[in-house]
Every structure is written in C-alpha cells, then in structure tokens.
Amino acid sequence: MFMEERLEDILEMLKRDGKVRVKDLSEKFNVSEGMIRKDLSKLEQHGNIKRTYGGAILERKIIHNDNTTSRIISNIEEKEKIARLVMDEIEENDVIFMDISSTNYTVATMMTGFTKNITLITNMNRIAMAFDSIPNVDIIQLGGMYNKKTGGTVGAFTVNEIKKFKIDKAFIGAGGINIEDNFVSNFNLDEVSTKEAIIKASKKRYLITINEKFYNDGSYKFCELGDVDYIITDKKPEENIIDGLSKYNVKVIY
C-alpha cells in the first residue's frame, strides 16, 4: 500500500471512530510504529488531525466565513440532495421557517414546482424572492437590521417578530455540529439570537447541513443538540456520529 492510500485510510478511520492508536494502525497496515508516527505527523502538518499520546484524534476546523453569497456557490450537489429531503418533510398547510442559510436558499430555488399550500416565514431576502412566483406559498418576510454579508435581517426587531408566530417546522442552517461538546454553532454573531428565537417558536426543529459540518465549528454557539429534533444532511454520517446524536434524541435524515 502506498503512503497516500494509508493516509486516506487513517483519515477515514478517524472520521468513523474519532481517534486512532499507533499500535493498532501498525498492526492493521503491517508497518512499523515509527512509520505510523511519520504518517500522523504528516497529517498533523496538513491540519487534519491532532497528535495525542500513543495516537491521534480528528482536528476540528473553525470556520469563519460569514458571507452567504460565497457559500451559495459551494457544495451545490450536496445541498440539492438536502433540498429534496426538506421538501419531503413539508406537509399541506404547514407554517415553516427558513432562516439565513446558503442551504436554505438552495432549497428555495428547487421548490418552483412545489404544489402544497404552505406559509413561509423567512428573514433572508433571496429566499423570499425565490418563492415569489409560487402561488400556493404565502410569504412572510421579516423586518429588522439588514446584514449585507448574510443577505438577511437580524437583531432585536427580527427576534420580536419571530415571537409572534407559531411555527410548525423550522429549517435552520448551521456552521458546525459538535457532538462531543454538545453544541451547534454558526458564523455570524448577529444570527445567534435570531436562531435561538426560531428554535423556541417552533414545534419541530430541523438542522440542515452538509455532512462535513459534523467536523467543523462555527465561531458562535446558538443551541445544544437537545434543542433540535432532526438533522437533514446529504449522506449517511459515520456510525459514531449517529450514535452520538441518538443520545440527544436527534434523528438523522439522509
């Protein structure tokens, strides 16, 4: 086996199990422990892992990108998969909330042929505009302080508006999901209070996020895992992630 293949396998094991031991890797790949240590050093240099005594753990990435426009054009295929799953969750006469999120925007753009009668509440301008030509969707666009980077409204005024509604299902974007430390995070401080209000006002709470966010953290925490009911993602997460979420009664849809 070439070194590059071994490094990929080690990363997959880390994603699956959360940690690895030098001794176990040496036996698995039939190479010396010294060789495994060199492999782990290389992965650590690339920022993929963090070395520990006798092994390594997966290094979580801190993501700071709070520009929604730049995120809209990334991971399109994964977001389209999530969009189809979101549409399956929406029922006739639902009142739904879609917050500021590049994934939510992708969902909105794919609902042009949506036939169910629903009420949409959103604080993201692009999402409201995406539903403009769909006659069976009533649109409520919230006011508030407009954030040019995220393309939506935030702040105390927006939070007070959210409190007026009884929401059946909220679809909430997330920058990172940290199972070990039990928190969900995002990129923008202004959105924290908005997301908190959405969660409190909703009967069912869905996080919508691509799979890689299980290994990332945003800059700002906005809820614990027990505050949400479902996570919709583009593919089946590793078993240790599903097991970890089950402890908080969070169901994964993929």
Instruction: State pLDDT tens for residues 105-159.
Output: 999 999 999 999 999 999 999 999 999 999 999 999 999 999 998 999 999 999 9
For residue 40, the cross-strand partners are none
Task: For residues 176 and 239, state if they share a domain.
Answer: yes
Question: Within this chain, do residues 101 and 148 fall inside the same structural domain, yes or no?
Answer: yes
- Strand-pair partners of 55: 21, 52
Q: How far is CA 238 from the centre of its chain?
A: 15
> Do both 50 and 128 map to the same domain?
no
Q: Are residues 78 and 19 in the same domain?
A: no
Choose the final residue of a domain: 59, 81, 107: 59
- Single pTM value for the model: 0.81
Q: For the stretch 119-138, what's the b/e string if a residue is b when 16 or more beta carbons lie within 10 angstroms of its beta carbon?
A: bbbbbbbbbbebbeebeebe
Q: What's the DSSP call for residue 155?
A: S
- Tens digits of per-residue pLDDT, 34-86? 999 999 998 888 777 889 889 998 778 777 665 666 677 678 899 999 999 99
User: Is there a single domain that holds both residue 135 and residue 83?
Assistant: yes
Strand order in the sheet with 167-173: 137-141, 118-122, 95-98, 167-173, 202-208, 230-232, 251-253
Burial class, 77, CB count within 10 angstroms (exposed 0-12 / middle 13-18 / buried 19+): exposed
Same domain, 32 and 72: no
**Residue 1 pLDDT level (bands cut at 50, 70, 90):** low
Which pLDDT does position 48 carry in this prediction? 73
For the chain, helix, strand, coil in percent to 5 are 40, 25, 30
b/e 48-65 (16+ beta carbons within 10 angstroms → b): bbeeeeebbebbeeebee
pLDDT band for 102, please (50, 70, 90 cuts): very high
Q: Is the pLDDT of residue 11 over 90?
A: no
Mean pLDDT of 15-32: 89
Which domain, by its residues, includes 159?
A: 68-253
Same domain, yes or no, for 87 and 54? no
- Same domain, yes or no: 92 and 200: yes
CATH number of the CATH domain containing 160: 3.40.50.1360
Number of domains in the chain: 2
CATH of residue 27's domain is 1.10.10.10
- Average pLDDT along the chain: 92
Q: In the prediction, which pLDDT does 70 show?
A: 63
Between these two residues, 165 and 42, which has the higher pLDDT value? 165
**SS3 assignment, position 92:** coil
Q: Are residues 204 and 127 in the same domain?
A: yes
Do 194 and 159 form a contact (C-beta atoms < 8 A)? yes
Backbone angles phi, psi at 51, to 5 degrees: -70, 140
**Residues 99 and 190 occupy one common structural domain:** yes
Q: How many CA atoms lie within 13 A of 198 on its CB side?
A: 29
**Of 249 and 4, the one with more pLDDT:** 249
Stated as kind and residue range, the H or E segment containing 231 is strand 230-232
Distances (CA, A) of 204 to 72, 128, 171, 251: 25, 21, 9, 12
Cβ(219)–Cβ(242) below 8 Å:
no
Task: Specify the pLDDT at position 174.
Answer: 96
Task: Assess whether 35 and 103 both reside in one domain.
Answer: no
Residue that terminates a domain, selected from 40, 59, 78: 59
**150 and 54 within one domain:** no
